[in-house]
Amino acid sequence: MEPLEFSDGTVFTERRRLYTASAAPGTRTYGERLMAIGGTEYREWDPRRSKLAAYLANSGKVLPIRKDSNVLYLGASSGTTPSHVSDIASGGKVYCVEFAPRMFRELVVNCKPRPNMMPILADATKPSEYEFMVSGVDVVYQDVAQKNQADILADNMEKFGARYGMVAVKARSEDVSENPKTIFKKAESRLKERGFRILDTLSLEPYEDSHEMIVVERT
């Protein structure tokens, strides 16, 4: 098991597969493979199930989430990727925002064995509604599959004073008829207009159709 370059020793690779060291040994979130090596339990991280893993599998080089980061995760669903973020930021907190009640119920179950994962039933377009539950955010990670993805990220980064942001832009959620490349350029321009520097952009194909990861830093 080798630490992945640029991951500050939080993500590992073996035979080109990705792993995180489990912060909740003995538990699975989505049926992932567990491997025990030298007293550490590693969880396989599937790029077909997680856009953050797809970004890293495609040689994404900017991972601003560190061991002690506090992460605001928008669009947590049942907790698949958030659980790996909770392994990475094992010394920080992961605030998981999800607005669909059915997914939220599963998220609550998956947060139970992970003391650093906080489920929040709320709409990511209304950060003032969960402001009272969230503090000290270093990174906003967003995967919400809806319109105005750049502005939702920017609004949350501004509200919580986060330095870094990552957004997995889904082109079809913005406009089904427009060329995905045009949509990604518009999202990048909007983030620049809102005062962010683009640190990286990367297509998530072949793992996710018409998706691009954008990583930004507040200037």
Positions touching ligand SAM (CB under 6 A) are 50-51, 75-77, 80-81, 97-100, 103, 123-125, 143-146
Closest distance of CB 74 from ligand SAM, Å: 6
Q: What is the spatial distance between Cα 149 and Cα 146, in angstroms, rounded to a whole number? A: 7
Closest distance of CB 73 from ligand SAM, Å: 7
Q: Which one, 90 or 142, has the nearer CB to ligand SAM?
A: 142
Q: Which one, 21 or 76, has the nearer CB to ligand SAM?
A: 76
* 36 Rama sector, left if φ>0, alpha if ψ -120 to 50, beta otherwise: beta
Cis peptide before 47 (omega within 30 of 0): no
Q: What sign has the CA pseudo-torsion 37, 6, 74, 54? A: negative
Q: Which one, 37 or 190, has the nearer CB to ligand SAM?
A: 190
Closest distance of CB 219 from ligand SAM, Å: 26
Task: Please state the separation of Cα 79 from the chain's center in Å.
Answer: 10
3-state secondary structure of 171: helix
Closest distance of CB 79 from ligand SAM, Å: 6
Q: Which one, 39 or 131, has the nearer CB to ligand SAM?
A: 131
